[in-house]
Amino acid sequence: MSVRVPPALLTTRRAAAEDERRCDCGALEEALRMLPGAARMVVGHTIQDAGINGACGGRVLRIDVGLSAGCGDGEPQARARRGSRIPRGRTGPAA
């Protein structure tokens, strides 16, 4: 898979399936190798009912929690990066 030829990882949901067993981690690794300095990919537009989470050994972060009332009415969440560790997201009402 190439980021230059459709369907590219940057335009598909192949690494964003909520069921991690369905994620194409090999294609993700190939795309990351093609993007100088990229260690992880952050993806949206694939609602994660369980909230912000990762797959492929933490190399892809799936951040769409369905905030819109028309798309799940999910709770706001945030995830902070500290060094190379990515702690669990925080959930709660908007301030």
Using DSSP, state whether 2 is helix, strand or coil. coil
Domain boundaries, the chain: 9-76
pLDDT at 74: 82
d(CA 9, CA 3): 6
For the segment 51-79, the average pLDDT, to the nearest whole number, is 85
Residue with the bigger pLDDT between 11 and 74: it is: 74
Query: Two tokens at 37?
Result: 């300095």
For the segment 16-35, the average pLDDT, to the nearest whole number, is 86
pLDDT of 23 higher than 50? yes
Beta bridge pairs of residue 70: none
Residue with the bigger pLDDT between 57 and 78: it is: 57
Rounded (10°) CA dihedral 3, 83, 18, 34: 10
